[in-house]
Structure 1
Amino acid sequence: MDYLLTTLTKKQQVDSIIRDTIDKVLVLRFGQASDDVCLQLDDILYKSSREVSKFATVALVDIDSEDVQVYVKYFDITLIPSTVFFFNAHHMKMDYGTADHTKWIGTFHRKQDFIDVVEAIYRGAMKGKLIVSCPLPPDRIPKFQLLYKDV
């Protein structure tokens, strides 16, 4: 599925897409093409990409690439897939009712859930917000036990 969406393997590519995606939500999926859950998410992202294309751009970031490790560390990508959202080069956060508002961890239950999340981020961003509330019911938000290192 991964050949259908842009895959970024270099820091410069990630920098450019973040900088150059204007007035649209940028959806960056951090993960591996060999991971089953990433493939499930990629399928949802691909099937949704045309529907969200007027207000969002979707790209995949290969976390195995040595050149993107600065982003993997910066966003603390320890669980994959992790999806990070931007709007006009600003990192967009979403309150999922979890400790981490910086990224979506895991896949979406269905295509419409992804579309609803991206629409909520877009609407919030258009109002100047940097954090928005998740529009999904709690039972459709993946739950992960976050382990904090060195605490």
Structure 2
Amino acid sequence: MSDYLSTMLLTKKKEIDCVIRDAIDKVLVLRFGRASDPVCLHLDDILSKSAREVSKFATIVLVDIDSEDVQVYVNYFDITLVPSTVFFFNAHHMKMDSGTADHTKWVGAFHRKQDFIDVVEAIFRAAMKGKLIANCPLPPERIPKYELLYKNL
């Protein structure tokens, strides 16, 4: 993995709280997933290859979704599909309007490295303008499609 990508897998709520609080003037990319999932491994490869190019305006951190201590975040962001990627800027949750029903997170892997870089750059530009939601710069065919799963329905 790249020096720019956190090789430490966060497994504690306190660690996530600290990284959210301490990421100043950069987009914080939190990838929620598991190391055994092939789609997560594909996304991790893209994140690793992109980390150097986004390092001036983004920090990438991996979070173990199976850790008992991070379930508060898993539940809060309603992470039922992995990988799911959540973005922050100066401790504010950043959303992405990608034409899907859920703007709170990116579900699935990016198709290619440049797609990830474009999304993070769009979030950074929106954040610098004081916005909490960014428009997705990707064409619809490169946005993962999924069905929302509602619990207790």
Decide whether aligned partners of structure 1 residues 88 and 4 sit closer, same or farther in structure 2, where only a CA change above 3 A counts: closer
TM normalised by structure 2 equals 0.95
Q: How does 1:1-151 map to 2 (within 5 A)?
A: 5-151=7-153
Counterpart amino acid of residue 10 in structure 1: K
Deviation at 1:147, TM superposition (A): 2.2
Deviations 1:87-112 (A, max 9, x none): 00000000010110000000000000
Indicate conservation of the 8 Å contact 2:6/2:60, yes or no.
Answer: no
Distance 1:47 1:148 in 2: 34
Deviations 1:2-58 (A, max 9, x none): 996331111100000000000000000000011100000000000000000000000
Gaps in structure 1 of 5+ consecutive residues: none
Gaps in structure 2 of 5+ consecutive residues: none
Deviation at 1:150, TM superposition (A): 3.4
Distance 1:4 1:99 in 2: 30
Secondary structure of residue in 2 paired with 1:113: helix
Distance 2:101 2:68 in 1: 28
Indicate conservation of the 8 Å contact 2:6/2:62, yes or no.
Answer: no
TM normalised by structure 1 equals 0.96
Q: CA RMSD in A?
A: 1.4
Indicate conservation of the 8 Å contact 1:6/1:58, yes or no.
Answer: no
The count of corresponding residues between Structure 1 and Structure 2 is 151
Distance 2:9 2:56 in 1: 20
Distance 2:77 2:29 in 1: 14
Decide whether aligned partners of structure 1 residues 4 and 84 sit closer, same or farther in structure 2, where only a CA change above 3 A counts: closer
